[in-house]
Amino acid sequence: MELGTSAARNFPSPASGRGTVPSPRLLSHHIWSRSTQCAVSSSSSPAGPVDIRSRFSARMTTAHNTGTPDLVDFNWDVLGFQLVPTDFMYLMRCSSDGVFTNGELVPYGPIELNPAAAVLNYGQGLLEGLRAHRKEDGLILLFRPHENALRMRIGADRLCMPAPSVEQFLEAVKLTVLANKRWVPPTGKGSLYIRPQLIGSGAILGVAPAPQYTFIVFVCPVGHYFKDGLSPISLLTEEEYHRAAPGGTGDIKTIGNYASVVSAQRRAKEKGHSDVLYLDPIHNKFVEEVSSCNIFMVKGNVISTPLLTGTILPGITRKSVIGIAQNLGFQVEERNITIDELLGADEVFCTGTAVVLSPVGSITYRERKVEYGKNQEAGVVSQQLYAAFTAIQKGLVEDSMGWKLQLN
């Protein structure tokens, strides 16, 4: 799939102040004005409407050692997984009848919220995460954004929130990525992390659905999630706290799911571990997931991952890795996995949009530390799946799955 003409190519030069007419697919939600200028509302810019395209073009520079003219001047070699403010973000609010309309690109920055906003008082909010990669030829690829749009709609239904349509979600993501195209790292230096959010922005005092909702998309260039890159990580098994419970919201990407893991995660890191492995809340023996990613185990030619029973997030990377593993000839099982089984595995790895596919070097359970692999190196199966997954994600091989979305 392709997105017509690149928005970046329609940005004028500083001298002309005017460019060609953008693709019709870029005209939705009134983002582009009749004069082909992308205006920012006066609430976002005290000086009134701003020609975003002129600003974008004027600020384009050549990056360190890349020779690519549409990259920001940035040291990509030190890129980690921290917030790097970019140029623009996308905002769209729902009307009184719950229909989202009139989205717009605005300069990246703070948003205004009433202290009584439902998201601040009752946690009525969802988030998503996906990535954009730059190919050698400069084209930008998205990976399965349709799945993120669908997952947000499922989560919104659970939290009694209206949600953007799949088409609105995809268009917002495309526009935000193209407006920040100069922040997509060079090939092999990282990716552009995309964070769509849906929040109850309307003010309300009692516990009830908010009267207004805001959909936001911002982006940030990122490197590896864990500081040691692809080196195997260390997990500490948590028995006191649980990430989710049956009948709760563990299977949707609600913001509260992540606040609840911070305490256990901090304790684990203080003990020298990378992250926390959570067990089920009923028997306290079945493996569920890590703080922000799914988990897999390898035993012979069988790859197993915990069954989705309502307490585990249905990860898009998880789903993709299962498909790739099956195509490579592995037997894949989705089932309940005990902690003892996991400790006896040949290999263990985690998957997620942020972590991609991270091999696990050790798991500590009740003071017992079990190590996987030799010399802290990723296992053979983990390396094989990582290579196959990232090759598709980065456009290095033919996409027989139809997972990539190309932005020209």
Domain boundaries for CATH 3.30.470.10 within the chain: 76-222
Domain boundaries for CATH 3.20.10.10 within the chain: 233-395
The least confident of 1-15, 233-247, 275-289, 359-373 is: 1-15
Distance CA 393, CA 286 (A): 31
pLDDT score of 224 more than 90: no
Residues carrying an active site annotation: 253
Question: Phi and psi of 151, rounded to 5°?
Answer: -65, -35
**Higher pLDDT residue, 328 or 47?**
328
Among candidate residues 243, 232, 251, 250, the one with its CA nearest the CA of residue 290: 243
The least confident of 21-30, 160-169, 256-265, 295-304 is: 21-30
Annotate 103-136 with DSSP letters as a single string: EEEEESS-----TTBHHHHH--EEE--EEEEE-T
pLDDT tens-digit series, residues 105-152? 999 999 999 999 999 999 999 999 999 999 999 999 999 999 999 999
Instruction: Tell me what the mean pLDDT of segment 19-40 comes to.
Output: 32
How far, in Å, are 244, 285, 296, 318, 350 from residue 307 at the CA level? 14, 14, 11, 11, 15
Burial 355-380 (b: 16+ CB within 10 A, else e): bbbbbbbbbbbeeeebebbeeeebbe
- Residue 334 φ/ψ region, left for φ over 0, alpha for ψ in the -120 to 50 degree band, beta for the rest: beta
> What mean pLDDT, rounded, does the chain reach?
85
Residue 259's pLDDT is 93
Instruction: Tell me what the mean pLDDT of segment 300-326 comes to.
Output: 97
% the chain with pLDDT above 90: 77
pLDDT score of 204 more than 70: yes
| Joined tokens for residue 326 | 């099956």
Q: Which of 23-37, 300-314, 369-383 tops mean pLDDT? A: 300-314
- 365 Cβ contact list (under 8 Å, min separation 6): 237, 339, 343
- What type of residue is 203? A
pLDDT bracket for residue 229 (50, 70, 90): low
Q: Are residues 40 and 50 in contact, defined by beta-carbon separation less than 8 angstroms?
A: yes
Residue 228's pLDDT is 63
pLDDT score of 99 more than 90: yes
CATH fold label, 233-395: D-amino Acid Aminotransferase; Chain A, domain 2 (3.20.10)
Residue 96's pLDDT is 76
Residue 28's pLDDT is 34
pLDDT score of 76 more than 50: yes
Residue 112's pLDDT is 96
Residue 67's pLDDT is 46
Residue 53's pLDDT is 37
**Higher pLDDT residue, 379 or 14?**
379
Residue 68's pLDDT is 55
Distance CA 125, CA 308 (A): 22
Q: What is the pTM of this model?
A: 0.83
Q: Are residues 387 and 330 in contact, defined by beta-carbon separation less than 8 angstroms?
A: no
pLDDT bracket for residue 97 (50, 70, 90): confident
Residue 287's pLDDT is 98
pLDDT score of 7 more than 70: no
Residue 83's pLDDT is 95
If one counts every other C-beta atom within 10 angstroms of the C-beta of residue 280, the result is 22
CATH fold label, 76-222: D-amino Acid Aminotransferase; Chain A, domain 1 (3.30.470)
Residue 377's pLDDT is 85
Instruction: Tell me what the mean pLDDT of segment 27-36 comes to.
Output: 31
Q: Which of 31-40, 359-368, 371-380 tops mean pLDDT? A: 359-368
Residue 94's pLDDT is 94
pLDDT tens-digit series, residues 187-198? 999 999 999 999
pLDDT score of 65 more than 70: no
**Higher pLDDT residue, 265 or 55?**
265
% the chain with pLDDT above 70: 82
pLDDT score of 51 more than 80: no
pLDDT score of 5 more than 70: no
